[in-house]
Amino acid sequence: GAPARRAPVRATVTVDAAVLAANDALHAAACERSDARYRPSAPLVAYAGEWERFCFPASPEAYAGVDAVPPCPFTAVDLACVSTRPLLSAEQCAVFLADAQDVAASAWDLPAAAAGAEATYARRAGTTVEVSQLPRGRELFNAAVLPALFPAVVAAFPDALGDVPPARLRVQAAFVVKYNASAGQTELGYHRDGPLVTATCALNCPSEFDGGGTLIEAKDWPRSPAPIRLARGHALLHPGNVRHGGAPITSGLRFVLVVFMYDSRTTDHARHCTVRAQARLDGALREQRGSAQRRAALAAAARGFHDALACGAGDRSEAAHVGLGHAFLELASYDGAAALAAALDNLEAAVVRAPADAHAHTMLSTACLAAGLTARALEAASAAVEADPASPIARNNRGLILAALGRSADALRAYADGLRLDPSNAELLVNFGVSAYDLGETATAVRCFRAALDSDPTHARAATNLAQLQLGGA
């Protein structure tokens, strides 16, 4: 029978009917887009194999994050499933690989999950190409992949999706991800995919690369997850919003076919509200600081994230709390203490939901510093570094907190750690320069500001600081 532990299903009555109607319209448009590109063009075929299952953490106390509880409609045994029979033949994999090789280098793009991420992370990320851009792959996808994949998805999650006819599934996105060790495009950081279910299919053999595989954050908890390395043609299925990533390869090439799927019958209100609010927040952050437009856009973003939370987004992801916290943090420069307190509440809620999300910890530390909570700020900044030791942004942020605490020498070390990861990062160079100056090392400071301007000639703080030191005769 179905395990008892399940995410609560939220009533959406507190959300304006117009918002729900807008979500339904977005959902309908998404289904139409899906139908135009990706539709099974042959009869569906039942999946004849078994599934190797991975469960949500047995003790939710041990893993405090959202992934301690299966997201509705999934159950405790639905963290991830690996096929015991291939879904794609070697020949079918070869078609995708040949297409992927023929597609112009310019067609490859950074994955959506990396698009909003910091530049250095994005540089390490694998690149993607949409299946709809692959002339032979697109045909094959509709003629053979979807007819096998839709029934397999339902079969893999019988408790959760047993009532969903496979033909009701739709594709939000389908793309080939290419990891290339010699190009430094080796991994994909932890993230959540939007829609109901994600399928990741291996297109080449694990002998063609070292490392790699899919990391499911809550798998093997409290140990760090062993990567799931699929044999060619095999599929990994998991709820889309389970936190996961692509483990770094250390040599060779790794190709996977990734498909995001959802039920055409169900509008995902939490997701649509979150996506809409995030777009508003991104827009607000582009408005002039201090302007009325910025304030209005931030308030609209906050309302959107509120709606998302009212639809249950907080039960599934940290994203709405991070977004709401970010919006309130920015609103604090207009509205003062009440907004700052709301920012802190939401960012604390976010790190509870995603204890290994460096971005959430970094946002929290910034808010704590603004509120004068320096000890908590440093704790959160250190948690961000621990969550993502390869992130120069997390190192930079920790340096800023240490500098604000008057610990210039410690700040300098934090920036130096960041610069080892990203030697030409202008922000790190400027901040290193400032702390060096605070420690009386003016010549070093001048060198750092110059180096920052070399790598980013538009860096205003580097230019101002350099001019000031040169005026001072340094």
Ligand X SMILES: O=C(O)CCC(=O)C(=O)O
User: What is the smallest separation between the CB atom of 206 and ligand X, expressed in angstroms?
Assistant: 12
Choosing from 99, 187, 193, 388, the residue that interacts with Fe ion (CB under 5 A) is 193
Span 256-285, contacts to ligand X by CB under 6 A: 256, 258
131 touches ligand X (CB under 6 A): no
Non-local CB neighbours of 142 within 8 Å, separated by 6+ positions: 38, 39, 40, 41, 42
Secondary structure letter of residue 73 according to DSSP: T
246 touches ligand X (CB under 6 A): yes
User: What is the smallest separation between the CB atom of 190 and Fe ion, expressed in angstroms?
Assistant: 9
Total site size for Fe ion, rule CB under 5 A:
1
241 touches ligand X (CB under 6 A): no
User: What is the smallest separation between the CB atom of 378 and ligand X, expressed in angstroms?
Assistant: 32
Identify which of 32, 29, 27, 74 has the alpha carbon closest to the alpha carbon of residue 267. 27
The option from Fe ion, ligand X, none interacting with 194 (CB < 5 to 8 A, set by class) reads none
User: What is the smallest separation between the CB atom of 183 and ligand X, expressed in angstroms?
Assistant: 15
Non-local CB neighbours of 308 within 8 Å, separated by 6+ positions: 270, 273, 274, 277, 314, 319, 320, 323
As a whole number of angstroms, the longest Cα–Cα distance in the chain is 79
User: What is the smallest separation between the CB atom of 417 and Fe ion, expressed in angstroms?
Assistant: 28
In the complex with Fe ion, the residue whose CB is nearer, 111 or 418, is: 111
**Do the beta carbons of residue 385 and residue 395 sit within 8 Å?**
yes
Instruction: Say if residue 115 is exposed, middle or buried (CB neighbours under 10 Å; 0-12, 13-18, 19+).
Output: exposed
118 touches ligand X (CB under 6 A): no
Residue of minimal Cβ distance to ligand X: 246
12 touches ligand X (CB under 6 A): no
Span 199-218, contacts to ligand X by CB under 6 A: 200, 214
Residue of minimal Cβ distance to Fe ion: 193
193 touches ligand X (CB under 6 A): yes
Choosing from 111, 166, 195, 233, the residue that interacts with ligand X (CB under 6 A) is 111
99 touches Fe ion (CB under 5 A): no
Identify which of 174, 190, 194 has the alpha carbon closest to the alpha carbon of residue 125. 190
Identify which of 140, 200, 155 has the alpha carbon closest to the alpha carbon of residue 173. 200
User: What is the smallest separation between the CB atom of 191 and Fe ion, expressed in angstroms?
Assistant: 6
User: What is the smallest separation between the CB atom of 188 and Fe ion, expressed in angstroms?
Assistant: 7
Non-local CB neighbours of 162 within 8 Å, separated by 6+ positions: 154
Handedness of CA 210, 213, 217, 219 (dihedral sign): negative
**Do the beta carbons of residue 126 and residue 179 sit within 8 Å?**
yes
286/283 Cα distance (integer angstroms): 5
In the complex with ligand X, the residue whose CB is nearer, 200 or 241, is: 200
- Contacts with Fe ion, residue ranges (CB under 5 A): 193
- Contacts with ligand X, residue ranges (CB under 6 A): 111, 113, 177, 188, 193, 200, 214, 244, 246, 256, 258
